[in-house]
Amino acid sequence: MAAKSHEEEHPNKAFGWAARDQSGVLSPFQFSRRVTGEKDVAFKVLFCGICHSDLHMAKNEWGISTYPLVPGHEIVGQVTEVGSKVEKFKVGDKVGTGGLVGSCHSCDSCSNNLENYCPEMILTYSAKYHDGTITYGGYSDIMVADEHFIVRIPDNLPLDAAAPLLCAGITVYSPLRSYGLDKRGMHVGVVGLGGLGHVAVKFAKAMGLKVTVISTSPSKKQEALGHLGADSFLVSHDQDGMQAAAGTMDGIIDTVSATHPISPLIGLLKTRGKLVLVGAPAKPLELPVFPLLLGGKIVGGSGGGGMKETQEMIDFAARNNITAGIEVISMDYVNTAMERLLKGDVRYRFVIDIGNTLKI
């Protein structure tokens, strides 16, 4: 059977912006979405955050990209249609989709609400769906997903500033919970003050933790303490400051995706403290074993979160008025935004106003 074109493989016309090759440059793209299945929710996309992984994927830096590639996995909007067996959502609801649109529903991870660790999880874009077609992300006008992978956005959360919670938010919320770093009064370090780090500070403060931001740039001190409400600030190359804070932290959420030494971070941990990596450096990090042995310390990782936990995270954010710091942009600004993101020139997340600015 000849492969159908992107425009014809499904019945419903869709429009978005796609990267066509490793240049990563995005341009308008006509494609199609599947018919809303009996367990599917279709929604009009209103906003979509720009995650660092969108940039990596658009340029095929992880070697798994399929072109044309429509990025975007911090997608929010309003439900336009639900399938006959959908139970949790109705037309008009505010909803969102994060990094996942499918999983096997039967493995150990799925049975424990950890779809994010399912070996057969299906990414929101540039992955093969159950029907064999390629998934497309949220830089587009409409979205269709199984209701299991749809999150309800509570009314008091502004949709634009809530969008980044669906990836950045759950990426830092999940390790705080699953590593038990969520007990009031605990002291947690947050390494890096970008898209992930700034939300980590907000969640940790809302959990009643003492929060220290650890950064390479002294210029972020005012931001960390004044704006985000962190309790203290450490410059990672300030040896005196790091020494003074040695052995004081119950845990550290490390959001840095550049290669960096973790030995100084391990030194900040208390006995049995936990260093959790959520950034993804391209090269392996050096793991100093002695400091781990001598303090009974743990180095772990965490990637995204399951659907139950993602809903819990959004509800927690709504109760505590937590949103991401954003810069809203128009669709045709996306290539410039990608260049600025590469330089770290954004506080803290770009969000595309899809609803008002995506024009055919």
Residues found near Zn ion in the complex (CB under 5 A)? 51, 53, 103-104, 107, 110, 118, 167
Residue (137 or 264) nearer to Zn ion, CB: 137
Question: Under DSSP, is residue 87 helix (H, G, I), strand (E, B) or coil?
Answer: coil
CB-wise, 129 or 232, nearer to Zn ion? 129
Using DSSP's 3-state secondary structure scheme, residue 315 falls into helix
CA distance 86 to 77: 17
Rg (CA), the chain: 20
Q: For residues 299 and 274, give the distance between their C-alpha atoms in angstroms, rounded to a whole number.
A: 6
Least gap, CB of 145 to Zn ion (angstroms): 16
Q: How far is the CB of 319 from Zn ion (least distance, A)?
A: 23
The smaller minimum CB distance to Zn ion, of residues 250 and 309, is found at 309
Q: Nearest CA to 56 among 192, 167, 216, 159?
A: 167
Tell me how far, at minimum, the Cβ of 52 lies from Zn ion, in Å: 7
* Nearer to Zn ion (CB atom), residue 70 or residue 186: 70
Q: How many CA atoms lie within 13 A of 235 on its CB side?
A: 10
**Burial label, 38 (beta-carbon count in 10 A; 0-12, 13-18, 19+):** exposed
Q: Which residue(s) pair with 352 in the sheet?
A: 48, 329
Rounded least distance, CB 49 to Zn ion, Å: 8
Cα 31 to Cα 4: distance, rounded to the nearest angstrom: 11
Answer whether 73's CB lies under 8 Å from 55's CB: no
Pick 68 or 71: Cβ nearer Zn ion: 71
> Shortest gap between Cβ of 99 and Zn ion (angstroms)?
6
Between residues 118 and 354, which has the closer beta carbon with respect to Zn ion?
118
Q: Report residue 7: phi and psi, to 5°.
A: -80, -25
Query: Least Å distance between CB 104 and Zn ion?
Result: 3
